[in-house]
Amino acid sequence: MPFEKKIKDEIIVYVTRDIANEPWHVDFFRFISDQKLAQRLGEEFISTRCLYKILEGLDVTKWMLRAQVRQQIMSYASIYEAALHHLLFEVCSRSKSYRVRAADWKKRYIYSREQTRVAQIPLKS
């Protein structure tokens, strides 16, 4: 059952008092060339901050505090992962020096895996 309107309004005021609006959070990711991704990251950013404020306002302790911390870590890690993936595989991959290094790494990785496979000794039953 949802909160009564009065309580809901007070929570919204508390949560949004110290948090910038959604356009600010989306603009934070203006370095992301994919506009849909930048929008999603901005939404994830503001939602993470809002959830933090709600739980902060509740003054949670013990297991709920751990849940609050875990939620923040997972959300921010997800944001960083998406941003880094975009920068590395969409932006940097267009540069020639990156493609040469990536191709070299791939050759070494495949060679290393093949060497490991050759060195494996089957277990006797």
Per residue in 28-66, pLDDT (tens digit) is: 999 999 999 999 999 999 999 999 999 999 999 999 999
Structure token digits, residue 11: 């929570």
Q: Mean pLDDT across the stretch 11-38?
A: 95
The rounded distance, in Å, linking the Cα atoms of 28 and 18 is 16
φ, ψ of residue 120 in degrees (nearest 5): -70, 135
* Sequence spans of domains, the chain: 5-119
Q: Are 45 and 80 in contact (CB under 8 A)?
A: no
Whether the pLDDT of residue 3 is over 80: the answer is yes
Q: Residue 66 is which amino acid?
A: R
Q: What is Dmax (Cα atoms) for the chain? A: 72
Of all residues in the chain, what percent carry a pLDDT higher than 70? 75
Q: Are 43 and 22 in contact (CB under 8 A)?
A: yes
Whether the pLDDT of residue 118 is over 50: the answer is no
